[in-house]
Amino acid sequence: MDMKLVFQDAAGFQTSLLVVFAVDVAIGKDADPLIALLTTSDAITNAAAVIIASDEFKGGLGEQVVLHGPNGLKAERLLIVGLGKAKTLSIDEVRKAAGAAVRWAKPRGVRQMAVAFPEDHALSDEHLDNLPCTLLCRALIEGAGIAEPDWDTYKSDRKDRSIEGLTIVAPEGEESTTREIQTGFEEGKIIAEAQNFARSLVNEPGNVLTPTELGRRAAAMCAEKGLKCEVHSTAKLEELKMGAFAAVAKGSAQPPALIVMTYEPKLEKGKTPQKDAPVLGLVGKGITFDTGGISLKSAEGMEKMKYDMAGAAAMIGAMHAIAALKPSVKVIGVICSAENMPSGTAYKPGDVVTAMSGKTIEVLNTDAEGRMVLADGLHYAKTLGCTHLIDAATLTGACVVALGIINAGLFSNDENAFTQFLGATRVSGEKFWRLPCTDDYKDQIKSQIADIMNTGGSRWGGAISAAMFLKEFAEDTPWIHLDIAGCAWNEEVKPWHPKGPSGVAVRSIVEWVRTYSA
């Protein structure tokens, strides 16, 4: 989808579909909806007057009504999209409503569309708190961009219904506002593209996206974006003594891939590199298929385990955006990719393996393989000089039991890193809920015969046991762990997205990285 930004009167913009946003300004829970359009264009307001006056359109989030041949407008159709209650309006509703507009247009054969920039100053302050222009425009582009893909590339009777072009039509205004909108537009394009790239990886079936193929795609992305990338396999795992990662990999005919992507910020002229500058490590779980191994999963729903590399995809997607946004902080992406298979060469319950850090791990369940590969990934990132770590993984079913599919789990050993991440989620609109990983829980992973074991002693607090295990390898380095098991795959159709890979965490990780930009 080609995205453009123009500054002109939206009523005079020639397009087959013009989108305008509406809010409900009625106060009070039981009050009848009172609809207001977020535009200062009298022509648009007049064209929509009759439908707005009827009580057919309630302005709910993602609700839509279309007018053909709207009077006084150059557009062939006017699509009014609801943002919900004005009082509680946030950037996230704008992102979703923009997505809903795109998903309305696609099946109707629309190829070119335009969106009237939501002018929140069209309403008085008592109705609406003003939202920053940069974030508004960015959310529009992100929402539209991530709503566009339909995951149907493997259908042989696929009909191409892509939207070819989308133009944001913003009013001409002060130079500073224009510049803010322009910035949001550029950032939104970068982030939507990165998130879609991550989703396209997660969408691939396990027979196509093997660890080797994941390595190839990451390397191709890095080459295109000017990032350094190394892809290693079994020999390097042995050399680095990555006993935990190697244990998982050895059950599969597919060799593992250790992918290292590096973003180095350009030094400004005359500046010397700062000695104590942070180096951020982005570590992703890249299990391209998780059968459970010898502790085999049941058949029901096992096909979903192709998305067990969504943490890796999030990190590769984040690196994609970082390469374009160019923050002034060094970032290293470390992906630990393998296939978890049962076979004559597979690791077994009861095995004891030595991780790269030297810690010994008793394997109680081969299905707890994510923490095994991440153990070595986190430690390796530290040896590469990372001062701050973040990992993302579809790590535990227990996290889905605890939080459902709305919030992903978040764990951290460091209040500053956590606070910065929380700030980042306010921009990204993604939902994470913090769960504890204090040392009170340490006994849960104490082993009889080794340093630690790879599952909790009891079945309670499984997501915490997994986080406690990872914490053993982050040690004192500030670290954030994102358990995205419940959020990496959209199980439900929403007006703003189809079923399929969500690309969760890309936006938050990128924003978190930017908080360290000097």
| Site membership for ligand BES, residue 462 (CB under 6 A) | yes
Using CB atoms, what's the residue nearest to ligand BES? 397
- CA dihedral angle for residue 148, residue 154, residue 159, residue 165, rounded to 10 degrees: 30
In whole angstroms, the minimum distance from the beta carbon of 371 to ligand BES comes to 8
Nearer to ligand BES, 144 or 395 (CB): 395
Task: Give me the sheet containing 479-483, strands edge to edge.
Answer: 228-232, 257-263, 330-340, 279-290, 388-393, 479-483, 408-412, 432-434
Give every CB contact of residue 78 below 8 A, 6+ residues apart in sequence: 17, 18, 20, 44, 47, 48, 66, 67, 70
In whole angstroms, the minimum distance from the beta carbon of 445 to ligand BES comes to 11
CA 374 from centroid of its chain's CA atoms: 19
| Binders of Zn ion in range 364-383 (CB under 5 A) | 367, 369-370
Q: Please list the active-site residues.
A: 297, 371
- Say which entry of Zn ion, ligand BES, none residue 396 contacts (CB below 5 to 8 A, set by partner kind): ligand BES
The secondary structure element, H or E, covering residue 245 is helix 243-249
Span near Zn ion by CB under 5 A; candidates 119-127, 170-178, 303-311, 404-412: 303-311
Task: Spell out, one character per residue from 347 to 366, where the chain touches ligand BES: x when CB under 6 A holds, - when not.
Answer: ------------------x-
Closest by Cα among 304, 300, 303, 372 to 338: 372
Binding-site size, ligand BES (CB under 6 A) = 16
Rounded Cα gap, residues 38 and 21, in angstroms: 6
| Site membership for ligand BES, residue 255 (CB under 6 A) | no
Nearer to Zn ion, 142 or 483 (CB): 483
In whole angstroms, the minimum distance from the beta carbon of 369 to Zn ion comes to 5
Token readout for 513 is: 């990285």
Closest by Cα among 208, 183, 180, 193 to 142: 193
CA 337 from centroid of its chain's CA atoms: 19
Answer for which of 203, 357, 394, 412 binds ligand BES (CB under 6 A) is: 394
Task: Spell out, one character per residue from 395 to 424, where the chain touches ligand BES: x when CB under 6 A holds, - when not.
Answer: xxxx-x------------------------
Task: Spell out, one character per residue from 470 to 509, where the chain touches ligand BES: x when CB under 6 A holds, - when not.
Answer: ---------------x------------------------
Answer for which of 143, 370, 409, 461 binds ligand BES (CB under 6 A) is: 370
Cβ count within 10 A of residue 401 = 12
Span near Zn ion by CB under 5 A; candidates 8-16, 78-86, 194-202, 361-369: 361-369
Q: Are strands 77-85 and 64-68 parallel, antiparallel or unpaired?
A: antiparallel
| Site membership for Zn ion, residue 339 (CB under 5 A) | no
List 479's β-bridge partners, or say none.
389
Closest by Cα among 339, 381, 303, 380 to 214: 339
> Which parts of this chain interact with Zn ion (CB under 5 A)?
287, 290, 308, 367, 369-370
> Which parts of this chain interact with ligand BES (CB under 6 A)?
290, 308, 365, 367-370, 394-398, 400, 455, 462, 485
